[in-house]
């Protein structure tokens, strides 16, 4: 009897392994693959190889199980940040904006949403900087800086009294945006270009195209976007 039981259990082993491989095992393999790609992307990033970092971050996000939204969002934000350094600042800014919209719809934790909003605000700051250097009309580059200003102000208000150090960083970012708006163009031209802006061309034209595209899309009801994490302080402009 005991021998028959052992034989039966032995015969069931392949079935159990197959079930695991098709279910939890498959999910674990996907997570392992995504983690390996993320480490690879981080190594590319440290080496300044932004093109390969971008591709690896995207592949890592795609490798994750569909229900792992939290890590997908983190990797998509990392990809958007890498994209800025490839000379595609307006495109990276659009990626962040899309990600923020999606996170708000899915009820993502506020700290994760804040992190995206903080990075988006920095990207808007850089876009305003570039558009000024490209002699874009005042109303065009100020649209970017005003968006950055509103986002940083919101973040500073949300973290005030809750995360004092973080709130102070956001307040300093806000001050940097205001200085950029008030700075004389000749003074701005004398400042070193932030790394996030280098290699980006026709920023003004790309932003115009994005705005025109948005105007053609059906409008959604606006929501009160309450959220944003710690973003690195924008480079330059005395920040």
For residue 232, pLDDT over 90 is answered with no
For residue 233, pLDDT over 80 is answered with no
Confidence band for 26, pLDDT divided at 50, 70 and 90: low
Q: Higher pLDDT residue, 118 or 214?
A: 118
Q: What is the tens place of the pLDDT at every residue in 68-103?
A: 999 999 999 999 999 999 999 999 999 999 999 999
How many other C-beta atoms can be found within 10 angstroms of the C-beta atom of residue 47?
Answer: 10
Can you tell me the mean pLDDT for 177-185? 97
**Model pTM?**
0.80
Distance of CA 239 to the CA centre of its chain: 21
Distance (Å, whole) CA 30 – CA 71: 12
Distance (Å, whole) CA 82 – CA 196: 9
Using alpha carbons, select from 103, 141, 50, 94 the residue that is nearest to residue 229: 103
- Collapsing DSSP to helix, strand or coil, 109 comes out as coil
> What are the angstrom distances between the C-alpha of 40 and each of 48, 76, 136, 199?
12, 15, 38, 23
- Cβ atoms 40, 7 nearer than 8 A: no
Distance (Å, whole) CA 136 – CA 224: 30
How many other C-beta atoms can be found within 10 angstroms of the C-beta atom of residue 38?
Answer: 21
Can you tell me the mean pLDDT for 218-233? 50
The helix or strand, by DSSP H or E, that contains position 118, with its residue range, turns out to be helix 110-133
SS3 content of the chain, % helix, strand, coil (to 5): 75, 0, 25
Q: Which of 21-30, 105-114, 203-212 has the lowest mean pLDDT?
A: 21-30
Sequential DSSP letters for 133-183: HTT--HHHHHHHHHHHHHHHHHHHHHHTTTSHHHHHHHHHHHHHHHHHHHS
The pair of structure tokens assigned to 71 is 């890590």
């Amino acid at each position: 009897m005991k021998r028959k039981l052992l034989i039966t259990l032995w015969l069931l082993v392949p079935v159990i392994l197959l079930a695991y491989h098709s279910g939890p095992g498959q999910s674990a393999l996907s997570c392992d693959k995504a983690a390996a790609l993320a480490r690879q992307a981080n190594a590319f990033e440290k080496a300044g190889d932004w093109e390969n970092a971008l591709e690896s971050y995207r592949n890592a996000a795609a490798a994750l199980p569909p229900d792992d939204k939290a890590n997908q969002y983190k990797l998509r934000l990392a990809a958007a940040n890498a994209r800025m350094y490839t000379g595609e600042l307006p495109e990276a800014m659009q990626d962040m904006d899309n990600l923020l919209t999606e996170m708000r719809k899915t009820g993502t934790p506020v700290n994760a949403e804040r992190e995206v909003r903080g990075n988006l605000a920095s990207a808007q700051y850089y876009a305003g900087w570039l558009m000024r250097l490209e002699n874009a009309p005042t109303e065009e580059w100020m649209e970017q800086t005003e968006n950055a200003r509103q986002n940083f102000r919101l973040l500073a208000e949300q973290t005030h009294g809750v995360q004092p150090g973080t709130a102070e960083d956001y307040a300093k970012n806000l001050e940097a945006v205001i200085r950029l708006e008030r700075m004389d163009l000749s003074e701005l031209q004398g400042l070193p270009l932030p790394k996030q802006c280098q290699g980006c061309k026709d920023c003004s034209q790309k932003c115009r195209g994005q705005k025109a595209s948005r105007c053609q899309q059906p409008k959604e009801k606006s929501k009160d976007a309450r959220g944003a994490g710690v973003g690195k302080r924008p480079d330059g402009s005395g920040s």
